[in-house]
Structure 1
Amino acid sequence: MTHQSEAHLLVRVGELPAPAVWNCLGNQLDDESGIWLFDCAPHGQKVLLDRLLQTLLPSARPGVLALALEEPSIGITSVEMLRRLTPLESLHARVHHPWIARDLEHYVSSDIQPIVDLNQSGRIFAYEALCRVSLESGLRLGGGEAIAIARRAGRLIEFDLACQASALTVKHRLLPEGMPVFINAMPNSLMRSDFATHPSFKLMQDLEVLPHEVVIEVVESEQVDDPEALAAACDQLKGMGFRIALDDIGSGYSGLSLLAALRPDFVKIDRALVHGAHNSRMRIGVLEALISMAQRLGCVTIAEGLEDIEDVELCRDLGVGFAQGYFFAHPTPGLADASKFPVFSQTRNRQMRSLIRLGDFLSPGETLSMGASMADAHQLFLRDTALEYLIVLDQGRPLGYLTRKVLNAPGWGPLGRYIQGLEQVLSARVNVHSLLRRLYDVGGRAQPWVVVDDAGRYMGTLVLLGVLDHLLNVGLPPSVHPLSGLPTGPVLRSLIEQRIAGGETLQMVYLDLDHFKAFNDRYGFVRGDAMIKVLAEILRKGFDGLPEAELGHIGGDDFLLVAPAHTPGLQARIGWLIDRFHELAPHLYDESDLDLGYFSTQNGQYYPVATLSVVVVNGQTRPMTDSVMASTRAAQLKRAAKDRMGSVVVTEGDPLSLVERPRVLGQAAWRNALECALATFPEDGAADSIDAWFGRHTAFELVFRLDSEGVQQGANWLNPAMRGLIKRGGDGMNRADRAYFRELRRGQRSYLSSIYVSRATEDFCISLAMPSWHADGALAEVMVGDINLVSLVALAAMPAGVAKRPYARRGRKS
């Protein structure tokens, strides 16, 4: 019996007050429970349901229940009858759209739309299956409209499963072997499932569709009540071989927090962000930030809804890996013909982006008119001890510059004889390649870089760190990870596929950080980035010089080494890099956590200090047909590795090899080397002696001296390579509140800081503070040196004897 033949509605509003107009439409049967009976005869069931819903506030509708009856009967308000009540909104949807209450497989089908590789001239990488509903009337509903009906009818899970079944059938029937299909899944359907018994998983087995050929799209525009449960479900799916995509990023509820929690393989950027983005500086900025975060988390980006060539080229130049939209093909029931895709330029936007506006990277600087006196110059330099030079202007045009050496000259007379010529004068718009060439040619010589407008008038001096950071970011290819500088994404996949296709037998070494998400939650993304950088630099050193080996950054905390199966000494190198990581990683933790040996997060969970899981997929054990098979086998090995506490190396074989690598306690040789080096810093303060010292100890970026109260004595001494990049100021600064001074006084010994981002260089470094003592045991002074991260790893890579020997020749009175 259909709903249309049922002539009465039983409605329960519960404790809510019923709208006054209901007294004109029906009768209240029970004052306490708020039960009403309505006769559908006057206007029909559809009209009555419409009027009832219209009289209710939207916030009240979910709590109102209803039941369609053919005739009222005795016991209409009985418990058994009331149990049959369903939400009024669901009844309304089922009456207006009767197909939603029937067998959905007769109505649901799938169109498919290609997902195109932007880095390989439009090659089809995969297809997304998009649900459609075909009705007896000939009307065809799109996915969004059908989902809205299913949600109102209370059949969202059933509809979701029907769409998945249709998509899997299309994959089996149409798509070539190895080509992935992207399937949409509602978050709530994922969180409630035991996947081994999930209907879609059973259908996959029946159709012989493999997990690595299926990408499950989690719809970001759906509200997620429990992100942790969803993340756990996605982790389980990844362990089974599926890949995960986060759909509609930028359009919905959870946004970046859900992206960080799920760490999906793919991020699909919503059409609302990319359509017309080439005309919006604001949206370009949002896209750059989103793409950068996705790359840091190891996610491949896909732009949805592309229709214009300008947006296609913009997305490609910003680093988006894949795209879909009407520009390439509309969704259809059959496969797309890639030969008919429009041709898009590989160079147009890159040429547009080859000019850089230097006005965004200027400091006004200190200037002096040509008519000023030496006394004026003295006054400016004495007022600002950090000031390195004055730009001399002649009627607004830069003529030259003065350095602090003029303080040694008499404070009277003309400026002319002391003015130095400007070597670097740039127009406000300059070609990127030209600027890079000039930066390379000038090397480490400290001098001002002056920028002028089209009329030659002074605009300011260039902030080199800012422009270098910009050039590095726009200069990195889309398939190079912005943090590690290692290949990732399509380049890494292509490399593996080519070597396998060439008949090579490979070993694939997968390395990842244990409990990295918890570390990020506890310490934040800055220290998280530092840990990634530490591991990347260790891997570079550890695998340097390995013949025919390629190192890549899969993303997030996952790295990969591709090497021939016969590579000698590989296990020894892996052991070495784990030891170096054990030495350096603790400098990213708070001292209190190191004392405990673990840290805790806000949810009360406890995690050990950083360890590594390394798995080796061995092509000699079983052949590898592609990169997906290798990653699937690696995921199985990782489960064995994650079951152990501490760092572990699991190597594929028969039997499986599992080697634990314990942490070795004791002071590392590289720390001794740094302390010996700083102890030999020239006491005379002579420029030549200091430059020679920096030439021997290049790991140090700068050195400064503090008195016994923590006040800096004199300006920073700079490594010549850093001049122009770091200010030489600091004289008179009170640094008593800095951790290195505070902890040194408390512990009465040298102190090595945690790894941090230097405000001077905007790069990761570490500070070493060493005390000198008076004869009576009182603190005399403290020498502090900043060491950059890359040099720190290089020192850690040196054998203990080699690291110590150059620094043991001279002593420093202490």
Structure 2
Amino acid sequence: MNEAAELEKQVLENILKHGTVNTLFQPIYDISKQDILGFEALSRGVDCLEMPEQLFAAAGIHNKLSELELLCREKAIERFVSLQLPGKLFLNVSPNTLLDPSHPRGETRHLVEKHGLAANKVVIEVTEQDKVDDGFLLLKTIEHYRQLGFNIAIDDLGAGYSGLKQWSELCPEYVKVDRYFIDYCDQSIVKREFLKSIIELAKATGTSVIAEGIERVEELSLLEKLGIVNAQGYLLAYPQSEPKIELEASQWSALNLTPKMNTTEQSIAIGWLAITQSAIHQCTQCKEAHRSFESDKKLMSLAVVNDNREPIGLLHRDQLTEVFAAPYGHALYAKKSVVELMDKQPLIVDENAQLDQVSQQITEQEFDIRRHIIITREGCYLGLAPLRDILKHITEEKIRHAQHANPLTMLPGNVAINEAIETRLRKQSDFSLAYIDLNHFKQFNDLYGYASGDSVIKLLADVTVKACEQSPCFVGHIGGDDFMVVFDANDAEQLCHQIINDFEQQSKAFFTPEHVKSGGYWATNREGQKQFVPLLTLSIGLVRPDLDNCKNSHQVAALATDAKKEAKRYRNSYLFVCNRRRPSVSVVKKIEKDQAECSA
């Protein structure tokens, strides 16, 4: 053995003996939600074996691959839990290590249980770069991991051996496309077509695709257009020992991604459901916590905090009771810290987190319905929220919105529109309101039939939503052929013109070529007279209400209705921008009269 090889062997032995492996985490983002999917754990050694390629190559040469992978796995799990990172933990595992007879069985499950990490938060990444001789044994091994609750991913898809065969046999939850197909994919027709085929296969098999190794904005832009929403690479974030949990708004903006669509209002903040309840310090002994539970039979969980009032875990009554009821349980744990028995990976959310976002986290992590989540304010403990109450409230919200949604377009109806306006008035947040109405719709309906009429209304809904998806907006369907849009940015006029142009262009498909060529058709009016009816056009009234003078949604809607009436005076499509920003005196008096009659 030469001097360099001998040095590598010594360094490797020291690493395994002293556990000197450093874990870095690289975020994997869901760019459609602009949120974290999870983190890939990347291991680093020391000295001449710092980089993973040299480290694992040396372990393979000296038959220490199994030991090294287990060490890296434990360090990654331990660090992931201690940092309280959100999302899933992606762990790299060599197939040959899994099939090694000396590789201990059940060790990964033991590690997640030891550190209080749920198995369904761990994704086992099986790299495709290693050749596997016994495919059937690998399949059995992977199925064993899945039965334990772990998710499965194929890493480096397209870089090695029989990727599609592995995909069909292993049925992974995720496939990670090798960097080769991502690198300058925007300039390669072959790579683009390969990515398209991967996306189609993923849809057919219910698999999530992750693009890794993204380094250029152009690559990310193409991937988003193709429909790949999970992204990883230096462009987004480098591997770090303490990774960023989220990107700032300016960073998302710089990536030229499509802004998140906002055609419906966000749900309430989770803070409204928080229950004020005392927390216990991490040094509290288990016997003291047990006394707290015994003195209050309704108490089901206790938040555990550190010296800075930051939550680090959640202690559950049933788990503590079960331990104390076991033989010698009281003697073993009575004087130990509650940290020994607490849930080290509870769901912790800020009070301003929206209820629908929290609901998604609850669903992804499969929490016990009896549990609580921890609510914080600026990182410090605020209170608890029972999962049962959260899910009940979410269900009630969904039912309420479904009841008031328009059955034809499934867009929010009058109740939701009024709520959207009232919310902005209450928050004193500037906005514009557009009232959109179809012209000549009755004559079209009579001539072409109700089915075509419904299709035109759905077209107008689609055109409006599509035009507004680049901007913070709320799109609502009043009923019939009437729509309202609440604009929160200063691009209302531009978007209204876009709606008009797109609708006029696309609605021609519902007319015969003769009618399109003539610009309309002859029809009988209500008086029995023949008249020429133009093709479908739009009237839009746009207002920017004065927040100090408009007191409720009815006054704002009245403003928009008046503006729409002005727009309908024109024969062709027209956008009327109303300069009046406050309700007329007659409208105010009528509303006050209605309110007085209701209260009488």
TM-score (norm 1): 0.31
Specify which structure has the higher proportion of helix: 2
Higher Rg: 1
TM-score (norm 2): 0.42
